[in-house]
């Protein structure tokens, strides 16, 4: 038991830092976490995909782990983030076991202790993103690989059993089910295999077993990726530096490479979503030890254990070097375990070269002070400075997190409309994990719509997705209350929806199929068109004012229909010249009697010829591009569009 005591002590510290205030820091959920949570729920409902196509594509391993934690702890922030906590704790364990086997226990203890209290691994262990599983699987793979070597310091001597190498291959294959950055891990093993084979002048069979096993394990996902046209969409989105290099411009790759190499002591990830912007991995003291450890490893590079570490670090950094927004702590996550080896090597060297007891006690005391200081700085920056930044609150939608807590205290049958930037999916997904009780919540697009529910209700305008000022000032009374964060910064405003001012309806007639119809005009089976307000004239390059008012005439049973409303300007030949399609009030919220205003202004092209243009509106399903039918008061079919007034485009 005593030999495990150092590891247990480190784990206690690591778990304490990873579990404290887990549901409040980060201060809400970011949309990527919610996408993973939503995918995990589909697993609990019986789906078993090898690759999740939502949100530009996601590998499955972390999402299946999240399905387990959500299944155990419910649809909550805790359920989402515990998967990352598990990965972070196991990263500490597997890194400790690898370094202990490859080097010694003291080096392993120091590296694991740094992992436990450093900002980078702490952050990655507390956010529900699949990159959290990359360091865990990287460290597991390398530990299993080194288990297959009896004497890791002696080049080319392997054990007789292939079982450890098969296990390492299984871990390597599974690592590819985590996150695109993990695809650098097989490159490291292949280069190690080539180096060992060349040095021994024969094929290194144990490492070949590892690679072959990894290929078999990866094959199902590899086939899936090869046959999915939308697979790796995110890699395409982030591959601009590589594309530039292929066309002869090496500037971006060089710049991002230098930025990534500087992440250890110069400047870390610049994006508040993933770091206290610019905060490097190491403080000056630990950074100095990091570089000293690199020097020691380079001096001993002919030993396989050092050579492997020197391969692992730069190759693991490649995804950050070759993509936008470098340095990226998420894309550099393959290199996370080995990063903390180097300062540990330097400290171990200092201790081993000071034989007298007084010097060793001094070094031990200094190490304790350094670790406590690092932990204190991490706690300050992570738990107090970082989450109270406005940009962090915005990314993690702290305003909606607080709104969910406020809604939970309201009457469950009162309609509450919430303005959002992604009212169709991502914003409601947040409440799936933040609002524990069932409430009548409707979502509108903050930029385009206000809804007056059939029953009197409330509207919430969050600080980071506030209702468009034009809509708010014209249609809403002053807010009845403003809810603030703990530091006094406003989180959201609450408005009464009991009595709106006169709706923006100046015209209540339209033409459909040659017949003049007066409002209400039925469109499809669930909508009545009530009227509109439109500019009489506008100039090229300007916005032409157009608002319309609709009423829901049938519940849609919370279904999210693939519906959009179109607004077109047609020239005298009936050809489309300007158009804008959107739906400001997604159908999942529709209830019989709801009335909503949609702001649907049209931006006129600067090259639009002067003349008179016809307004055309209607509704259609974007799943099949089929328009909803228009009906007159007698129920007769009047085509699939409404022709409204004209807009004169002036010179």
In 3D, which of 411, 406, 501 has the Cα closest to residue 463? 406
Q: What is the pLDDT of residues 58-100, one digit of tens each?
A: 999 999 999 999 999 999 999 999 999 999 999 999 999 999 9
d(CA 186, CA 293): 25
d(CA 519, CA 507): 9
**pLDDT confidence tier of residue 500, bands split at 50, 70 and 90:** confident
Where is pLDDT greater, at 241 or 96? 96
Contact (Cβ atoms closer than 8 angstroms) between residue 424 and residue 586: yes
Q: Is the pLDDT of residue 153 over 60?
A: no
> What is the pLDDT of the chain when averaged over all its residues?
93
State phi, psi for 28 to the nearest 5 degrees: 140, -170
Q: What pTM value is reported for the model?
A: 0.91
Query: Which range is least confidently modeled, 206-220, 500-514, 587-601, 614-628?
Result: 500-514
Other beta carbons within 10 angstroms of residue 362's beta carbon come to 12
The two beta strands, 527-534 and 537-538, are unpaired
Q: Is the pLDDT of residue 237 over 60?
A: no
First CA to last CA distance, the chain = 87
Residues 6+ apart with CB under 8 A from 186: 172, 176, 211, 214
Query: Which range is least confidently modeled, 153-157, 357-361, 396-400, 415-419?
Result: 153-157
Contact (Cβ atoms closer than 8 angstroms) between residue 615 and residue 567: yes
Report the pLDDT value the prediction gives residue 156, as an integer from 0 to 100.
46
Contact (Cβ atoms closer than 8 angstroms) between residue 234 and residue 180: yes
Q: What is the pLDDT of residues 276-304, one digit of tens each?
A: 999 999 999 999 999 999 999 999 999 99
Contact (Cβ atoms closer than 8 angstroms) between residue 313 and residue 338: yes
Q: DSSP 3-state helix, strand, coil percentages of the chain (rounded to 5)? A: 50, 15, 35
The HSE-up count of residue 377 (CA atoms within 13 Å, CB side) is 19
| 382 DSSP assignment | I
**pLDDT confidence tier of residue 152, bands split at 50, 70 and 90:** very low
d(CA 650, CA 576): 18
Which tokens belong to 191? 């280069």
Contact (Cβ atoms closer than 8 angstroms) between residue 596 and residue 549: yes
Report the pLDDT value the prediction gives residue 365, as an integer from 0 to 100.
83
Residues 6+ apart with CB under 8 A from 2: none
Q: Is the pLDDT of residue 490 over 50?
A: yes
Here the contacts of 305-314 (C-beta below 8 Å, separation 24 or greater) are 305/102, 305/103, 305/146, 305/152, 305/153, 307/192, 307/195, 308/142, 308/188, 308/192, 309/338, 309/341, 309/342, 311/188, 311/191, 311/192, 312/142, 312/188, 312/338, 313/338, 313/339, 313/342
Report the pLDDT value the prediction gives residue 158, as an integer from 0 to 100.
44
Report the pLDDT value the prediction gives residue 236, as an integer from 0 to 100.
61
Mean pLDDT of all residues in 417-435:
94
d(CA 160, CA 393): 55
Q: What is the pLDDT of residues 306-318, one digit of tens each?
A: 999 999 999 999 9
Report the pLDDT value the prediction gives residue 580, as an integer from 0 to 100.
96
Reading phi first (left if > 0) and then psi (alpha if -120 to 50, else beta), residue 478 is in beta
Three-state DSSP class for residue 224: helix
Task: Give whichever of 156-160, 240-244, 349-353, 474-478 has the largest mean pLDDT.
Answer: 474-478
Contact (Cβ atoms closer than 8 angstroms) between residue 438 and residue 412: yes
Report the pLDDT value the prediction gives residue 234, as an integer from 0 to 100.
60
Give Cα separations from 300 to 146, 153, 154, 358 (angstroms): 18, 10, 12, 29
d(CA 375, CA 369): 10
Report the pLDDT value the prediction gives residue 233, as an integer from 0 to 100.
63
Q: What is the pLDDT of residues 318-332, one digit of tens each?
A: 999 998 889 999 999
Mean pLDDT of all residues in 235-262:
83
Q: Is the pLDDT of residue 242 over 80?
A: no
Q: To the nearest whole percent, how much of the chain has pLDDT over 70?
A: 96
Q: What is the pLDDT of residues 373-418, one digit of tens each?
A: 999 999 999 999 999 999 999 999 999 999 999 999 999 989 999 9
Report the pLDDT value the prediction gives residue 160, as an integer from 0 to 100.
53
Give Cα separations from 415 to 278, 296, 590 (angstroms): 43, 66, 11
Strand partners, 452: 595
Q: Where does 469-520 have alpha helices with state H?
A: 469-475
Q: What is the pLDDT of residues 596-637, one digit of tens each?
A: 999 999 999 999 999 999 999 999 999 999 999 999 989 999
**pLDDT confidence tier of residue 140, bands split at 50, 70 and 90:** very high
Contact (Cβ atoms closer than 8 angstroms) between residue 587 and residue 641: no
Which tokens belong to 456? 């009197």
d(CA 200, CA 192): 12
């Amino acid at each position: 038991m005593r030999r495990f005591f150092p590891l247990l002590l480190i784990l206690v510290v690591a778990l304490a830092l990873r579990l404290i205030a887990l549901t409040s820091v980060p201060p809400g959920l970011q949309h990527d976490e919610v996408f993973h949570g939503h995918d995990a729920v589909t697993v609990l409902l019986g789906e078993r995909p090898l690759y999740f196509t939502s949100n530009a594509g996601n590998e499955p391993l972390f999402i299946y782990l999240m399905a387990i934690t959500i299944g155990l702890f419910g649809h909550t922030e805790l359920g989402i983030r515990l998967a990352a906590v598990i990965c972070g704790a196991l990263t500490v364990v597997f890194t400790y076991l690898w370094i202990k086997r490859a080097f010694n226990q003291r080096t392993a203890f120091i590296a694991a202790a740094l992992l436990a209290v450093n900002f980078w691994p702490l952050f990655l262990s507390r956010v529900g993103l699949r990159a959290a599983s990359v360091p865990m699987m990287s460290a597991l793979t390398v530990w299993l690989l080194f288990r297959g070597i009896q004497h890791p310091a002696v080049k080319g001597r392997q054990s007789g059993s292939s079982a450890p190498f098969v296990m390492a291959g299984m871990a390597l294959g599974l690592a590819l089910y985590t996150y695109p950055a993990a695809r650098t891990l097989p490159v490291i093993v292949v280069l190690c295999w080539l180096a060992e084979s060349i040095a021994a002048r024969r094929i290194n069979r144990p490492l070949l077993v590892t690679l072959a096993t990894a290929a078999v394990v990866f094959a199902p996902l590899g086939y899936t990726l090869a046959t999915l046209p939308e697979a790796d969409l995110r890699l395409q989105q982030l591959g601009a530096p590589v594309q530039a290099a292929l066309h002869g411009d090496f500037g971006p790759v060089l710049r991002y490479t230098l930025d990534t190499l500087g992440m250890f002591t110069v400047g870390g990830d610049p994006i508040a979503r993933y770091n206290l912007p610019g905060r490097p991995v190491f403080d000056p003291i630990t950074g100095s030890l990091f570089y000293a450890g690199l020097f020691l490893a380079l001096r001993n590079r002919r030993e396989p254990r050092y050579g492997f570490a020197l391969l692992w670090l730069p190759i693991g950094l490649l995804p950050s070097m070759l993509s936008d927004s470098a340095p990226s702590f998420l894309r550099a996550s393959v290199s996370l375990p080995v990063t903390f080896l180097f300062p540990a090597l330097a400290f171990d060297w200092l201790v081993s070269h000071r034989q007298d007891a007084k010097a060793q006690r001094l070094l031990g005391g200094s190490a304790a002070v350094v670790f406590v200081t690092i932990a204190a700085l991490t706690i300050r920056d992570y738990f107090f400075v970082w989450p109270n930044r406005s940009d962090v609150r915005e990314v993690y939608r702290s305003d909606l997190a607080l709104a969910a807590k406020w809604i939970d205290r309201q009457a469950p049958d009162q309609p509450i409309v919430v303005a959002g930037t992604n009212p169709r999916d991502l914003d409601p997904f947040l409440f799936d994990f933040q609002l524990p009780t069932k409430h009548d919540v409707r979502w509108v697009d903050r930029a385009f719509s206000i809804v007056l529910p059939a029953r009197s209700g409330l509207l919430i305008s969050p600080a980071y997705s506030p209702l468009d000022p034009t809509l708010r000032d014209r249609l809403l009374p002053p807010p009845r209350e403003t809810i603030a964060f703990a530091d006094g910064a406003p989180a959201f405003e609450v408005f009464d929806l009991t009595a709106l001012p006169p709706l923006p309806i100046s015209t209540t007639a339209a033409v459909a199929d040659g017949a003049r119809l007066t409002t209400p005009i039925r469109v499809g089976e669930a909508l009545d068109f009530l009227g509109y307000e439109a500019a009489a004239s506008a100039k090229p390059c300007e916005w032409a004012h157009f608002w319309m008012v609709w009423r829901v005439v049938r519940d849609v049973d919370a279904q999210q229909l693939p519906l959009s409303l179109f607004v077109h300007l047609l020239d005298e030949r009936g050809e489309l010249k300007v158009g804008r399609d959107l739906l400001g009030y997604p159908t999942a919220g529709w209830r019989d009697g709801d009335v909503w205003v949609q702001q649907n202004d049209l931006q006129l092209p600067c090259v639009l010829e002067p003349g008179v243009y016809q307004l055309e509106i209607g509704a259609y399903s974007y799943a099949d591009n089929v328009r909803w039918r228009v009906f007159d008061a007698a129920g007769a079919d009047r085509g699939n569009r409404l022709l409204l007034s004209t807009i004169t485009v002036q010179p």
